[in-house]
Structure formats: C-alpha cells, structure tokens
Chains A and B, each alone.
Chain A
C-alpha cells in the first residue's frame, strides 16, 4: 500500500492542487483578511466564473483561462456594486456581524439555485488541447490540467503581492486594514478604497473559476466545499498576508492529497474544515498573523 512513488506522486499532486487553492483563497485574503468582510459567497462567484468559462468554451471554443482573464474586469464591477449595497445596508449602520453574514449566505444560496435552475445539476466541463496531456519525469506525473492552473495561480499571487506592496492603491488597502481612522485623517476615502479592494477580490474569482473547470468538471453545489478550503487557508495564512496565504494553500493541498491517496477521496472534504477548526482552536492568529 505505502510506496515511494505513491508518496512522491501524492506530494507533487498536492503542491499543484495547493497552487490552485491559492487562486481560490486570494480574493478572500483581500476581502476577509484585509477588510474583515465575511464574504462566504466568494466560492459561489468562483462557480459563476467556471460557468462563464464553460459557456464561452462550449459555444465559441475560447480557451477557458483566457475567458477567466477577460471576465475579471466585469467581476470587478459586480464586486464594487455588491460592496456598495453591503456598505449602505450593513457597514454604515454597524450591523455587519449578524445581518452581513446572513446577506452573503443568502447571496451564495441565490447564485447556487439560479445556476441549478438554468443548467441543472449535471457536471459541466471544458475542452482545450492541453487538458488531456501530461509530463512524466521519472515515476512522477505532471498532468497539464493541474500544471496550468498551478502556473496561472502562482502568477496571479505574484501579481497581487506586487500590487499590494508596491502600488498606491495596494498600500491604501493595507492601510484601511490597519487603521481606518488614520486613513480618513489623511484625507483618503476608506469606502472608495474598500470598494476597490472588494472588486479586486471578486475579480480574482473569475480567474479561479476558469482554473477550477480546467481541473475537473463543475456543478453548482461544488462551491460549498470551497468555503471551508478558502477560509481555512486565509485563517491559517494569518488573515490578509498574501505570502502566508500561499504557503497555507500549499500545506492544505499537500495534506488533502495525502489523505485522498492513503485514506480515500471521500475523506478529503473534512481535511480543510478539520484544519480550520484546529487553527481556530489552537492558534487563531494563523501561522503568519497580522495581529
């Protein structure tokens, strides 16, 4: 049962999977980690991204990843609008804890049900030349359907990391997270910055969704499994730290891949939530805590 090549394959598959998880969690690392907005609907937006990739791929044969990149600006606008509603209804009146949570829960549910109403519960998939291919180095497999998402997600993480640390807007977003009042005294508008950041977070969901459907077939309720994964990664990574988030994503990917190889794939959904529960119970600040 236990052998070196099985282990090596599990680790490599875990690293590739973990890279993809970084794309899933990065939007939440901005929205939840920096702005403290509990967007549990984030995975639902990822599923919407996956369906857009599916539609344009099956109709016109566009490359799914390209569709994801092109859809990102539209997602940005939608995200900014949602933040407007959220701000006006909950944040301004100080009700974000209970009502805000229920709001995103409702949004998530609506997205899922609407997708089911239109497309049913069948699994959808995309076609691209690279999806069936793979590299084989020694006894380790590198399937392209995992390698491409890994590469795109890593690039996305690098871009966001650079953006957050080197541009004015990126630093402003971090400033909102650190001290909102001080930012206001400097003459900047925290609401506008948060709107920008929320839009950016949702925009990453378009890309993550296109990667998700490259990895495997997607149906509307798949998103729920990613709630735990995304939150586990953000909390473990230390709330808002982009580099911490990437390492946490790799850890989760490897652990999940190991469990799935040695205990059976039906156990893997429990891994993320188990990890999340452990982190919350033992070290709520995460591995690379912001506070």
Chain B
C-alpha cells in the first residue's frame, strides 16, 4: 500500500469513528467495538515480536495486566488523568519488555516461549498478593464524570482505543518496511546467520520486545475504566493471551496487515456469537480457529490471498 493511501485510510477511519459517536447512542456497540479494538492492538503488538522477529510470547496477558494495574495503582496514589495513565502503562510494559529482551540472550525458541509463560504466572502471583491494588479480591474503579464532548464515557474510551490502535498499526507498518524490520526478519529466519552478517541482533531484539511490551501496556491501561472492576483473574485471563497469538496466526504473521485482518475477523465473530449464541461459546471459537488455521493454512489469510493471486497471474 502506498504511503499516502495508507495515511488517508487511517484518517478516514478516525473520522468515521468520530462521526459514529455523533449519530449512534447505544452503549452496547461501543462496548463491542472497544473489545475488538483492544484485541487488535494486542494482536498487532504480539506480531512485532512473534511475527517479525520469530519469538513466541505466551505471556501477553501479563503485559496487558501490567498496564491495567499501573492504572489502578497510580489512580489510587495520585489520581492521574487518563492520558498520563496510558503513558505510564506503556512505560511499565515497555520496561518489562526490555527485561524480557535480555532473556533472549540465553533462551532460544521453545525455552523463551516457556519462560514468558513462567513470567506471566510469577507476575500474577505477585499482583494477587499485593493488597494495595486489591490483591486476589480485586479493585473497583470509579468512572470519571467528565468525558470531553462525548455523550458518554464509553464513547470517549472507544475513541481513545481507536486512536491507540491506529497508532500501533502505523508503527507496526513503519517497523516492517524499515531497515530495522529487515533486520528483525533476518533474526526470524536465521539468528546465527544474521549475527555473523553484522546485524546487531541483541539491539534489534530489545527494540522489538520493548515496543511489544509498551503497546500491550498501553492496551491494558484504559481497561480498569472500561470494566470498572479489575481482579487478577480478569486481567491475566488466558483468553487475552490466546487471542493475542491466534489473531496474528489466523490473519498471517508475515505482513503487518495480518494481525489486523485476523483481529477484526475473529474479534467481530466473537462479539456476534456472544449475543446471538452464547457468551461461553465465543471463547471456544478462537481456539478452534487457531488450531484449524495453523494445521491447514500456516501462512494465515494473507498467505491464502497471496497464493490465490499468484495462481491467477500464472
């Protein structure tokens, strides 16, 4: 996609979101859209490490929860406004991501993936025992009274999340087409060869894990205001981690648009099934789709489309 077209599409989506808040009142739709956008942001973030660099992160929920709990803690201690809380959530997530990057020095492939799972449970245990933020019992959040010019607070949260997601997509696209992105792809394909060809692998991996962590922290920061009650079970939910892995895998991990396609497709299906069939079955869909796609179409939807085009050309 050409640069001008890309930015045009982003601006159009943003304008569309603003227009929507002017005409549509029903809060349910903003709830559903918020969840889809949150999943998209998480999927885009996961793909920066998982898709571009080839390191599997099973602990996405921990980064998300870290953002959410930064909000809970700072809101209780200082009562900061939302934009600052989002920045803080991103900073904490990025910092933990930076630490995770150093782990890649010693742990490759499978061991790294298991270590991220381990990290998630250790962090969850600490949060469950930290009584200041509610511990295992959870913490309530009050929805602030002001919501700019929007009709309701959820409308404002929806616009905030839309803005954040579009920013993440833009960053992801810039990363993938830059020199840095080619370095990451070299690491994914063969880390030893990349290192010996002069690619600064550690520095690139640190950038990759930090950006991923920061984006996930940002995704989690508004979450307490969205649900108004956070406990470790909801913030560290396995569903969040599965979504973050499955959506890029279903959409296609090689291209920046892959996680976006996967997240929009799976996310809207989940929301539709939640209202039409049952709120429990929507959790199952993503698991089944993940297994079906990686066994039958390992390159995801993007890969299927590419194959189709190539066949039509020849």
User: Which of A's residues lie within 8 Å of B, judged by CB?
Assistant: 36, 38, 40, 85, 89-90, 93, 95, 97-99, 101-103, 105-107, 109-110, 112-114, 116-117, 221, 224-225, 227-228, 231-232, 264, 266-267, 269-270, 273-274, 276-277, 280-281, 284
How far in angstroms is the closest Cβ of chain A from B304?
15
**Contact (Cβ within 8 A) B287 A110:** yes
Known A102-B56, A109-B238: A267·B294 in contact at CB below 8 Å: no
Contacts A/B (CB < 8 Å), 24 sampled: A38-B113, A90-B295, A97-B109, A99-B294, A102-B246, A103-B294, A106-B288, A106-B291, A107-B291, A109-B286, A109-B290, A110-B287, A112-B238, A225-B121, A266-B136, A270-B121, A273-B122, A274-B122, A276-B114, A276-B118, A277-B122, A280-B115, A284-B107, A284-B111
**Contact (Cβ within 8 A) A273 B121:** yes
How far in angstroms is the closest Cβ of chain A from B181?
18
How far is A112 from B294 in the complex, measured between Cα atoms in Å?
19
**Contact (Cβ within 8 A) B294 A89:** yes
How far in angstroms is the closest Cβ of chain B from A50?
18
How far is A107 from B288 in the complex, measured between Cα atoms in Å?
8
User: B45 contacts the other chain (Cβ, under 8 Å)?
Assistant: no
User: B284 contacts the other chain (Cβ, under 8 Å)?
Assistant: yes
Question: A269 contacts which of B50, B121, B284, B286 (Cβ < 8 Å)?
Answer: B121
How far in angstroms is the closest Cβ of chain A from B243?
10
**Contact (Cβ within 8 A) B118 A277:** yes
**Contact (Cβ within 8 A) B106 A102:** no
Known A114-B284, A117-B280: A280·B111 in contact at CB below 8 Å: yes
Known A38-B110, A276-B115, A284-B106: A270·B122 in contact at CB below 8 Å: yes
Question: B110 contacts which of A97, A107, A270 (Cβ < 8 Å)?
Answer: A97
**Contact (Cβ within 8 A) B106 A106:** no
How far in angstroms is the closest Cβ of chain A from B231?
14
Known A231-B114, A266-B128: A109·B295 in contact at CB below 8 Å: no
How far is A274 from B120 in the complex, measured between Cα atoms in Å?
11
**Contact (Cβ within 8 A) B294 A281:** no
How far is A114 from B288 in the complex, measured between Cα atoms in Å?
11
Q: Which residue of A lies closest to B278 (CB)?
A: A117
**Contact (Cβ within 8 A) B117 A280:** no
**Contact (Cβ within 8 A) B295 A85:** yes
How far is A42 from B129 in the complex, measured between Cα atoms in Å?
28
Q: Which residue of A lies closest to B188 (CB)?
A: A98
How far is A262 from B89 in the complex, measured between Cα atoms in Å?
34
Given contact pairs A98-B56, A101-B56, a sample of 8 additional A-B residue pairs in the complex whose CB atoms are under 8 Å apart: A99-B298, A109-B238, A109-B242, A112-B238, A231-B114, A273-B117, A280-B111, A281-B106
Q: List residues of chain B with CB within 8 A of the CB of A228.
A: 117-118, 121
Question: B287 contacts which of A36, A97, A98, A113 (Cβ < 8 Å)?
Answer: A113
The number of residues on chain B lying at the interface, defined by a beta carbon within 8 Å of a beta carbon of chain A, is 43
**Contact (Cβ within 8 A) A101 B125:** no
Chain A contact residues, majority secondary structure: helix
How far in angstroms is the closest Cβ of chain B from A75?
19
Q: Which residue of B lies closest to A269 (CB)?
A: B125
Q: List residues of chain A with CB within 8 A of the CB of B54.
A: 98
Q: Which residue of B lies closest to A270 (CB)?
A: B125
Known A38-B110, A270-B125: A110·B238 in contact at CB below 8 Å: no
How far in angstroms is the closest Cβ of chain A from B160?
29
Of B107, B111, B114, chain A has the most CB atoms within 10 Å of the CB of: B114
Q: List residues of chain B with CB within 8 A of the CB of A106.
A: 242, 246, 287-288, 290-291, 294
Question: A102 contacts which of B103, B119, B280, B294 (Cβ < 8 Å)?
Answer: B294
Known A102-B294, A103-B294, A105-B242: A266·B114 in contact at CB below 8 Å: no
How far is A232 from B115 in the complex, measured between Cα atoms in Å?
10
Q: Which residue of B lies closest to A276 (CB)?
A: B118
**Contact (Cβ within 8 A) A227 B117:** yes
Question: B119 contacts which of A98, A267, A277 (Cβ < 8 Å)?
Answer: A277
Q: Which residue of A lies closest to B121 (CB)?
A: A273
Q: List residues of chain A with CB within 8 A of the CB of B110.
A: 36, 38, 97, 101
Question: A103 contacts which of B107, B126, B136, B291 (Cβ < 8 Å)?
Answer: B291
How far in angstroms is the closest Cβ of chain B from A118?
10
Give residues 281-312 of B contacting A (CB, 8 Å): 281, 283-284, 286-288, 290-291, 294-296, 298
How far is A224 from B125 in the complex, measured between Cα atoms in Å?
13
**Contact (Cβ within 8 A) B284 A113:** yes
